[in-house]
Structure 1
């Protein structure tokens, strides 16, 4: 029974399109910090979605990056992005940095960067 669950989890595709669409709800095409944040309830929902997307994508990007040559720049950049995304997940909203909206935007930027690395790592794999 475990083999079936493990196999389906390992082969489940990552939905980069949905992840990017989620980031666009907070960042828009220009990533403008002066854009109005969504309503509090919507912001909370988006934050939960972003956190879930990050938790799914971080190990995927890390796994792809580790397949690249140890001295490769794309590997280094992807792993640095993974580390930054993990720090963002541990961070809490802070009034000094835009409160809940600023926190959600930082999560969205980390997710956008991971999406880029996920797609680019596939092109760089030997």
Structure 2
């Protein structure tokens, strides 16, 4: 399955890396957060959100690593990264709304990770 997020070399030292497509990531998150119930495209969007988390987490971790241990923004971003990674690796659960609820949590994480990335990259 092909997604709009371009896969690229991870890590801030990659010379040929493309910029993060935060607009696409935010749009994917917005679409899922705007759903009030399970919809046919939810599984595809949830897969896309997983891809976004997998791209954002290593980038944000690299940005955090370059900051002092007592940096407040880095501390908040670290919590967001840990939560997103946990959500990525948690099963969807069971029941009629489980996939919907899981996708909602991933969408909130993607939106937060985009904010953390922008805040830390702007320094």
1:25-64, Cα deviation, whole Å (9 max, x unpaired): 1113xxx8xx12322xx11101110001110111011111
Which has the larger Rg?
Answer: 1
Over the residues paired in the alignment, what is the CA RMSD in angstroms?
1.9
- After TM superposition, the structure 1 stretch with the greater mean CA deviation from structure 2, 15-24 or 93-102, is 93-102
Tell me if structure 1 keeps the 8 A contact 2:37–2:100: no
Equivalent residues in 2 for 1:106-125, closer than 5 Å: 106-123=105-122, 125=123
Matched with 1:38 is: 39
Flag structure 1 segments of 5+ consecutive residues without an equivalent. Answer: none
Provide the aligned length of Structure 1 versus Structure 2: 111
What is the Cα deviation at residue 122 of structure 1? Answer: 2.0
Q: Which consecutive aligned stretches of 4+ in structure 1 deviate over 2 angstroms post-superposition?
A: 5-8, 95-98
Task: State whether structure 2 residue 15 is matched by structure 1 residue 7.
Answer: yes
Alpha-carbon distance in 1 for matches of 2:73, 2:54 = 21
CA distance in 2 between partners of 1:106 and 1:97 (Å): 16
Q: If the length of structure 2 is used for normalisation, what is the TM-score?
A: 0.82
- Larger mean Cα displacement after TM superposition, 64-73 or 101-110: 64-73
Q: How far is 1:97 from its partner?
A: 9.4
TM-score (norm 1): 0.80
**5+ long unaligned stretches in structure 2:** 1-8
In the TM superposition, what are the counterparts of 1:45-56 in structure 2 within 5 Å? 45-56=44-55
